[in-house]
Structure 1
Amino acid sequence: MTARVDLASRVRQRFAVEGVEATPAAVVSAVRGEPDGSLLGDTAVLRLANQVHSDLAGAGPLTAFLADPTVTDVLVNGRDVWVDRGSGLHRVSTVLGGVDEVRRLAQRLAAACGRRLDDASPYVDARLADGTRLHAVLPPVATSGPYLSLRTFRQRPFTLYELVEHGTVPEPVAALLAAIVGARLAYLVTGGTGSGKTTLLNTLLGLVPHTERIVLVEDASELRPVHPHVVGLQARTSNVEGAGTVALTDLVRQALRMRPDRLVVGECRGAEVVDLLGALNTGHEGGAGTLHANSPGDVPARLEALGLLGGLPRVALHAQAAAAIQAVLHMRRTASGRLLDSVCILAPAGSDRLVTVVPVWRRGHGLGPAARALARMLLDRSVPVPPVLAGDGVPA
């Protein structure tokens, strides 16, 4: 074992000195080129070459976790590694080396994204080539770091049937979600961090008729719905000189000129919500987005806060939201997994006409007071009302 560690170390050093690109073929050739490498069998050579390639160009000891389809998050706290396989964080046993090795790993991953990570710029938020989201913080900002947070990317979105199988969406409610998409109702997928908002939105966008064009606007590209006509726009941060920023607000305006049938903002987190509401109020039906919110009832307040960033007064924001957004789909993360917690509508309430969230269906409670209102919306758009809204087979 020690001999193979030494061999791997020599090969890594060779690539560092020669400055040669560490392609898989080049790494295999380098391993075989070492005196003791020629004594290894094909399987041993490939295994060692994969390890060296991961150390030089990949995520090193974290590669196996990122390749595991059940893993959603990989977190590194100094030298400790925690992973989430959908049921909460669990500490795992893996050898990362010392603090210096973890720092080099973080810097290499940042460099692979074209980003800088050093004492002058001690944190970075970037995306790896395979779609994995990377966030890294170096000491002394990270008091016991370095810290790495890696959110894995699922290459193939779940189908609605798979979400039902996993228990994320009850089967009768799945038909309701499909009806909302088919009726071109605009909706927000809400929930806390890691609650499955992007997963559900990815799935629902795959239900959009193939004759329609989806234009995605995202801060970081995460949405890849199974659909033949999808175009994406991604925000850009400034370069080291502080120039070149392309904000989400700019991209929403560009998207409106791209003939979208469905305009989607991957995550509403700032002033772009004003442009999205404006777009949904000018004939762009069926749009969607995600929004961080602790509960459906917090959605109006969150929209207010974001609207103020875009200079939209409270009353105007509520008027825009009432006309633009019909449904709110709230996700919740539990010990057993990520669940669709409720389906609601936005409706004006009171003499001030401020919008409120009214439940259509809630997990554990069944149908809510807005079930008939949503049924009427579907009928007005010539979409059959799913049995769940009639109380047939309503899941509690």
Structure 2
Amino acid sequence: MTVSLELLDRVRGTLASQGADPTPARVAAALRADGAVFGDSTILEVVEALRREAIGAGPLDRLLTEPGITDVLVNGPNEVYVDRGAGLERIPLRTGDEPSVRRLATRLAAAAGRRLDDSTPYVDVRLPDGTRFHAVLAPIASPGTCLSLRVPSRKVLSLQDLVTAGALPPSGVAILQDLLDARLAFLISGGTGTGKTTLLNSLLSTVPTTERLVIVEDASELRPAHPHVVRLESRPPNNEGTGEITLRDLVRQALRMRPDRLVVGEVRGPEVLDLLIALNTGHEGGCATVHANSAADVPTRLEALGSLAGLTPQAIQSQIASALHAVIHLTRDPTGRRRITEIQAVTLTPRGTITTTPAVLFTPTGAIEEGPASRHLTQLLTRGAAA
């Protein structure tokens, strides 16, 4: 039996008027007071629904634990979409009316220590279970309060798992492993939902256990299977506008923590300058992810981010030239399949500008092709292995 929202509302109202917790005995009494007779299974279902509403994610709770779901989106009352790896699909799940969705949003924000109300109508936080939660209240959002939940992977995939999933050709494992062993500095690029964090998790899990990983993120998502990991997480300002800790602050602190690998979960602001400076001052093997439509767009993307730190295009390009070696790019096809498409080498053009040039191409059929920069990448790998 599925408990109706109307019944839950009535039981909730009865318990609220009594100031009582939703224990099985009190829920049974409230149901009897409602004038109907219910079995033990219904009583336990009501108790569980009220528990989820009080400390979980309400009607979305089961979705956050369902294997295979990576994203849960709520577009106002009773409009819920999930992504199980094949694109978004709408599911028949009732969330209640607009006040119910708003209550859920404000409670989840409060669980992460943030305020969500008309004066601060949007929030982006990490929930205690690691879920990335974003919300925008109505009427700023239409057709109602909108929730976006990015569910963290319950399992860190190995490179072999990516091969099995069709995201990487079998012979591509050795290439990526060589890139790590040579301690080249690299970026993982791609659009939203292409698997950048998943790939970075897999790569970091293969780093020798003798090395210390220091990971800097806005919201803690990286969970590599590695015994020596230190995580630093940024913090937004409080309601009084104080107490903010930025990624730039944390990258600088990370450099004082003797990292063997400095990792930035995602560069999307002026922290790109601090990362590049770190990679230019002896911190080899550093890496990060960046949003970009193609690997060729990465230099331009970094220039735009560098401008936020007050750098000219020429200044950021000079930093890139000596700091970065490669870009690994991922895509997601219309069927939802995520795939590593290429590795491009960061190169200097005759005009003195930075570009990326294809070095290794992974075709949809699983074949590997050499690009114009394949020799350049091989030289970098050889030089790094010999160092």
Looking at structure 2, the residues matched to 279 and 315 of structure 1 have their Cα atoms a distance apart, in angstroms, of: 18
Looking at structure 1, the residues matched to 120 and 19 of structure 2 have their Cα atoms a distance apart, in angstroms, of: 25
Q: Which moved more, 1:242-251 or 1:49-58?
A: 49-58
Looking at structure 2, the residues matched to 339 and 98 of structure 1 have their Cα atoms a distance apart, in angstroms, of: 39
Looking at structure 2, the residues matched to 5 and 97 of structure 1 have their Cα atoms a distance apart, in angstroms, of: 7
- What are the equivalent positions in structure 2 for 1:115-194 lying under 5 Å apart? 115-194=114-193
Q: Which moved more, 1:103-112 or 1:6-15?
A: 6-15
Looking at structure 2, the residues matched to 130 and 116 of structure 1 have their Cα atoms a distance apart, in angstroms, of: 19
Aligned to 2:377: 374
> Does residue 63 of the first structure (1) align with residue 61 of the second (2)?
yes
Looking at structure 2, the residues matched to 241 and 129 of structure 1 have their Cα atoms a distance apart, in angstroms, of: 23
TM-score, structure 2 length as denominator? 0.91
Structure 1 residue matching 2:262: 3-state secondary structure? strand
Mapped contact 2:3–2:45 kept (Cα < 8 A) = no
Looking at structure 1, the residues matched to 285 and 3 of structure 2 have their Cα atoms a distance apart, in angstroms, of: 61
Looking at structure 1, the residues matched to 169 and 269 of structure 2 have their Cα atoms a distance apart, in angstroms, of: 32
- Residues 316-365 of structure 1, C-alpha deviations (whole Å, 9 max, x = no match): 211211211111000111123111111111011113x2111011122337
> Any gaps of 5 or more consecutive residues in structure 2?
none
Mapped contact 2:220–2:233 kept (Cα < 8 A) = yes
Looking at structure 2, the residues matched to 253 and 35 of structure 1 have their Cα atoms a distance apart, in angstroms, of: 58
Looking at structure 1, the residues matched to 15 and 46 of structure 2 have their Cα atoms a distance apart, in angstroms, of: 15
Looking at structure 1, the residues matched to 229 and 281 of structure 2 have their Cα atoms a distance apart, in angstroms, of: 21
- What are the equivalent positions in structure 2 for 1:326-345 lying under 5 Å apart? 326-336=325-335, 337-345=337-345
- Residues 164-195 of structure 1, C-alpha deviations (whole Å, 9 max, x = no match): 11111111112111111111111100011111
Aligned to 2:112: 113
Looking at structure 2, the residues matched to 223 and 230 of structure 1 have their Cα atoms a distance apart, in angstroms, of: 10
Mapped contact 1:11–1:30 kept (Cα < 8 A) = no
Aligned residue type for 1:373: H
Aligned to 1:348: 348
Aligned residue type for 1:110: A
> Any gaps of 5 or more consecutive residues in structure 1?
384-396
What is the CA-CA distance between 1:161 and the residue it aligns to?
A: 1.0
- Residues 45-88 of structure 1, C-alpha deviations (whole Å, 9 max, x = no match): 54433222112211111112111121111111112111111111
Q: Please provide the CA RMSD for this pair.
A: 2.2
Aligned to 2:358: 359
Aligned to 1:97: 96
Aligned to 2:75: 77
Looking at structure 1, the residues matched to 177 and 185 of structure 2 have their Cα atoms a distance apart, in angstroms, of: 13
Aligned to 2:48: 50
Aligned residue type for 2:374: A
Structure 2 residue matching 1:162: 3-state secondary structure? helix
Mapped contact 2:348–2:354 kept (Cα < 8 A) = yes
Go from structure 1 to structure 2 and tell me whether the alpha carbon gap of 1:29 and 1:164 turns closer, same or farther (over 3 Å shift): farther
Mapped contact 2:11–2:31 kept (Cα < 8 A) = no
Structure 1 residue matching 2:385: 3-state secondary structure? coil
Runs of 4+ in 1 over 3 A off after TM superposition: 1-20, 26-41, 43-48
Structure 2 residue matching 1:345: 3-state secondary structure? strand
Mapped contact 1:269–1:291 kept (Cα < 8 A) = yes
Aligned residue type for 1:167: G
Structure 2 residue matching 1:167: 3-state secondary structure? coil
Mapped contact 2:212–2:261 kept (Cα < 8 A) = yes
Mapped contact 1:137–1:146 kept (Cα < 8 A) = yes
- Residues 246-290 of structure 1, C-alpha deviations (whole Å, 9 max, x = no match): 111111100000000000011100110000000001110000001
Go from structure 1 to structure 2 and tell me whether the alpha carbon gap of 1:11 and 1:331 turns closer, same or farther (over 3 Å shift): same
Structure 2 residue matching 1:382: 3-state secondary structure? helix
Looking at structure 2, the residues matched to 2 and 186 of structure 1 have their Cα atoms a distance apart, in angstroms, of: 53
What is the CA-CA distance between 1:141 and the residue it aligns to?
A: 0.7
Mapped contact 1:300–1:356 kept (Cα < 8 A) = yes
Go from structure 1 to structure 2 and tell me whether the alpha carbon gap of 1:165 and 1:122 turns closer, same or farther (over 3 Å shift): same
Looking at structure 2, the residues matched to 19 and 154 of structure 1 have their Cα atoms a distance apart, in angstroms, of: 38
Go from structure 1 to structure 2 and tell me whether the alpha carbon gap of 1:253 and 1:38 turns closer, same or farther (over 3 Å shift): farther
What is the CA-CA distance between 1:11 and the residue it aligns to?
A: 5.0
Structure 2 residue matching 1:328: 3-state secondary structure? strand
Q: How many residues align?
A: 377
Mapped contact 2:328–2:340 kept (Cα < 8 A) = yes
Aligned to 1:246: 245
Go from structure 1 to structure 2 and tell me whether the alpha carbon gap of 1:186 and 1:103 turns closer, same or farther (over 3 Å shift): same
TM-score, structure 1 length as denominator? 0.89
Looking at structure 2, the residues matched to 142 and 220 of structure 1 have their Cα atoms a distance apart, in angstroms, of: 23
What is the CA-CA distance between 1:14 and the residue it aligns to?
A: 5.8
Q: Which moved more, 1:141-150 or 1:264-273?
A: 141-150
Looking at structure 2, the residues matched to 170 and 128 of structure 1 have their Cα atoms a distance apart, in angstroms, of: 35
Looking at structure 2, the residues matched to 130 and 357 of structure 1 have their Cα atoms a distance apart, in angstroms, of: 38
Looking at structure 2, the residues matched to 324 and 152 of structure 1 have their Cα atoms a distance apart, in angstroms, of: 33
Go from structure 1 to structure 2 and tell me whether the alpha carbon gap of 1:159 and 1:33 turns closer, same or farther (over 3 Å shift): farther
What is the CA-CA distance between 1:382 and the residue it aligns to?
A: 2.8
